[in-house]
Amino acid sequence: MASSASFTSPLCTWLVAACMSFTCERDPQQLPVLRPCHSSSKRLSRRRKIVSKYCGGGGQLNLNGSLVSSFCGSSIQGLMSSCLAFEPCNEYYSSKGSISSLGFFSDNALSSFFGSKNYRQLGEAMAVAVQPAKEVATKKKPHTKQRRVVVTGMGVETPLGHDPDVFYNNLLEGVSGISEIERFDCANFPTRIAGEIKSYSTDGWVAPKLSKRMDKFMLYMLTAGKKALADGGITEDVMNELDKARCGVLIGSAMGGMKVFNDAIEALRISYRKMNPFCVPFATTNMGSAMLAMDLGWMGPNYSISTACATSNFCILNAANHIIRGEADVMLCGGSDAAIIPIGLGGFVACRALSQRNNDPTKASRPWDINRDGFVMGEGSGVLLLEELEHAKKRGANIYAEFLGGSFTCDAYHMTEPRPDGVGVILCIEKALAQSGVSREDVNYINAHATSTPAGDIKEFQALIHCFGQNPELRVNSTKSMIGHLLGASGAVEAIAAVQAIRTGWVHPNINLENPDEGVDTGVLVGPKKERLEVKAALSNSFGFGGHNSSIIFAPYK
């Protein structure tokens, strides 16, 4: 009884406060009265006494104009009905709504709240609400012009270069960054190739002490992030002028610090005393984003999203939304991964996901080609500097492109396989178009997810044709044909490729597309050489294990 009372009292207090705060705003004479349904005056009197008892006072509970939800069929029914001075009507008991849709009172929430799963199945619920007057709603949330988001800086660490221009020029020339793995002996693996970064330095970007301790996914993220700032003209003087409470970092990782964690396990075989004291924080996917924010002193939104190979797109869209909602003016966003280590390679080999074309590495990644036999692992990082338009103009920033919007959906089908009907991808693309206000005809360039897997390439292509098949100007390519699959970093690196296409007016080729799959219309695919294209709107897709779908859209700034 003591625990029940301790819960009931604050709940009733909240209900009374909610009722009073609403009724105080308007004339009680103008409000409709919520009347009891089929309840006797005795019952009302009794329940008013109970309200007085549990709410800690003798005041009456004013129900005029309040928002009330009632619950039945569980232990919470008595609790709620004790606090409310009316009986639910018959229509309530026949309501079709499910209580689980209310979130807080779902099965899991109740289980964790009461510490037990031994409660009866929750019944149905009906909410009775009074709509506030139009002028009240306007006062609470005034209409404001939507803030526009632009790209003002880019930073990369890839197998094809550590500068956005070098990286994109190599893509335009059809250079492959895939080769034999040199970092460790993989002679016993059926796959011995990857998009490995051969030369990398943190000099001038990361303190030597941290550089020795951090996992590479963090180092790639830190250097790419700082390069994006430098590319965006955020000098030390500009940095001092920024409101750091309105600057944030949202950079994710699919795999996190696998090397740090694996080394800790090996050390534990000897003794826990041999373990790196930073093994836990440096293995988590959020720590790179957090360390970058600490380095910059940025106190705005800071976290990491991990949705497998769709990670970067999720981070980019959420970062843009922080700016649109007025929660930030500047955001660093993207993704980073460094999983080319024995456990990473072995894990994907066990999934039977990787190409085994070891004798000809540069030909191994071949999206849409009939002889594709799996994707090629890559590593690196891509970071975009997103900025609110007026903020960027005020400081005289160079604007590369405008971010228009995007969308997420879930296949809800299989851990690694795409839906056979492609509905999840189609829905994602259509929602992205609707959210960004872009018509199908305006999208004339798509940087596809296209990883070089048998099922994934075809299903995505079919979805693209379903959505854009009537557009004669459409051109589609896959950056992964040259750098492999950078996992959680792929979306950001490909978004940078899309922005570079907008900037330069050139789209890069699809290499290794020698024998197109019979289900592919080569008329929409970029050929083996770069092509001139005036991009109206560019869409970039990323999909991840778990059925995560994401589409984001960029366009020239006008």
**312-360 per-position pLDDT tens digit:** 999 999 999 999 999 999 999 999 999 999 999 999 999 999 999 999 9
Of the candidates 19, 55, 83, 309, the residue annotated as catalytic is 309
Reply yes or no on whether 485 is catalytic. Answer: yes
Q: DSSP 3-state assignment of 424?
A: helix
User: Residue 187 domain-assigned?
Assistant: yes
pLDDT of 92 over the 90 cut:
no
User: Residue 155 domain-assigned?
Assistant: yes
pLDDT of 67 over the 70 cut:
no
Say what the pLDDT of residue 276 is. 85
126, 320, 328, 498 from 325: Cα distances, Å: 32, 9, 8, 25
Q: How far apart are CA 250 and CA 327, in angstroms?
A: 13
The tally of domains found in the chain comes to: 1
pLDDT of 536 over the 90 cut:
yes
Say what the pLDDT of residue 37 is. 43
Q: Which two tokens stand for residue 219?
A: 């180092």
* Local confidence band at 153 (pLDDT 50, 70, 90 cut-offs): very high
Q: Mean of the pLDDT values across residues 274-300?
A: 92
Say what the pLDDT of residue 394 is. 97
Residue-wise pLDDT tens digits, 375-402: 999 999 999 999 999 999 999 999 999 9
* Single-letter residue type at 211: S
pLDDT of 305 over the 80 cut:
yes
Q: How far apart are CA 354 and CA 356, in angstroms?
A: 6
| CA dihedral angle for residue 489, residue 526, residue 548, residue 437, rounded to 10 degrees | 100
Say what the pLDDT of residue 403 is. 98
Of the candidates 162, 322, 391, 485, the residue annotated as catalytic is 485
Of the candidates 449, 467, 508, 548, the residue annotated as catalytic is 449
The boundaries of the domain holding residue 511 are 151-556
Say what the pLDDT of residue 474 is. 97
Contact (Cβ atoms closer than 8 angstroms) between residue 36 and residue 87: yes
b or e along 81-102 (b: 16 or more beta carbons within 10 Å of the residue's beta carbon)? bbbbbbbbbeebeebeeebeee
Residue-wise pLDDT tens digits, 454-483: 999 999 999 999 999 999 999 999 999 999
* Local confidence band at 244 (pLDDT 50, 70, 90 cut-offs): very high
Contact (Cβ atoms closer than 8 angstroms) between residue 538 and residue 498: yes
Q: DSSP 3-state assignment of 16?
A: helix
User: Residue 103 domain-assigned?
Assistant: no
Say what the pLDDT of residue 341 is. 96
Say what the pLDDT of residue 281 is. 86
* Local confidence band at 517 (pLDDT 50, 70, 90 cut-offs): very high
User: Residue 87 domain-assigned?
Assistant: no
* Local confidence band at 541 (pLDDT 50, 70, 90 cut-offs): very high
Reply yes or no on whether 410 is catalytic. Answer: no
User: Residue 135 domain-assigned?
Assistant: no
User: Residue 17 domain-assigned?
Assistant: no
How many of the other CB atoms lie within 10 Å of CB of 162? 20
Say what the pLDDT of residue 41 is. 46
User: Residue 161 domain-assigned?
Assistant: yes
Please give the share of the chain, as a percent, with pLDDT higher than 90: 68
* Local confidence band at 26 (pLDDT 50, 70, 90 cut-offs): very low
Which residues face 252 on adjacent strands?
335
Reply yes or no on whether 391 is catalytic. Answer: no
Q: Which two tokens stand for residue 63?
A: 């129900």
Range scoring the smallest mean pLDDT among 93-97, 234-238, 466-470, 497-501 = 93-97
Query: CATH number, domain at 201?
Result: 3.40.47.10
pLDDT of 213 over the 60 cut:
yes
Q: Mean of the pLDDT values across residues 554-558?
A: 96
pLDDT of 121 over the 50 cut:
no
User: Residue 12 domain-assigned?
Assistant: no
The pTM score is: 0.75
